[in-house]
Amino acid sequence: MKLFALAWFLVLAAACDPGASDPPDVARRKAECKRLEDHIFRISPESQSRLAGLPPAEQQKVIDTLVAGVPVEDLEQCAAAEPAVIACMQAAPDVAAIRACVGLAKKS
């Protein structure tokens, strides 16, 4: 009986996994959005002060923690955005350039 309960729990847990239900194209876009969040945290002045003086491995840990805290809804909204806007933001060297990319989305 315990084995059956454990098996049932594992089936339910797998079914509830939000990443498991995404089609490949959506999963790819969400991964792209996580990379974008990483980039945004790296160029934001607030994050730069937290990252200053840390070795690269420690910087990545801080960034990974920040990206993990991004709400799922934000990733879904990003995944639904125009690819050109995402590409613009990925190439942005600073926050002002990010804002300009957002302005592109509002024009289309």
Ordered per-residue pLDDT tens for the chain, 108 residues? 433 333 333 334 444 454 458 899 888 999 999 999 999 999 999 999 999 999 999 999 999 999 999 998 998 889 888 999 999 999 999 999 999 998 765 655
Is 91 among the domain residues? Answer: yes
**Distance from C-alpha of 102 to C-alpha of 97, rounded to nearest angstrom:** 9
Q: How many domains is the chain partitioned into structurally?
A: 1
Q: Which residues constitute the domain of residue 80?
A: 20-107
The pTM score is 0.72
The angle at the Cα of 14, spanning 13 to 17, to the nearest 5 degrees, equals 85
**Under 8 Å between Cβ of 47 and 66:** yes
Is 5 among the domain residues? Answer: no
Is 84 among the domain residues? Answer: yes
Is 8 among the domain residues? Answer: no
Place of tokens 């805290």: 69
Is 35 among the domain residues? Answer: yes
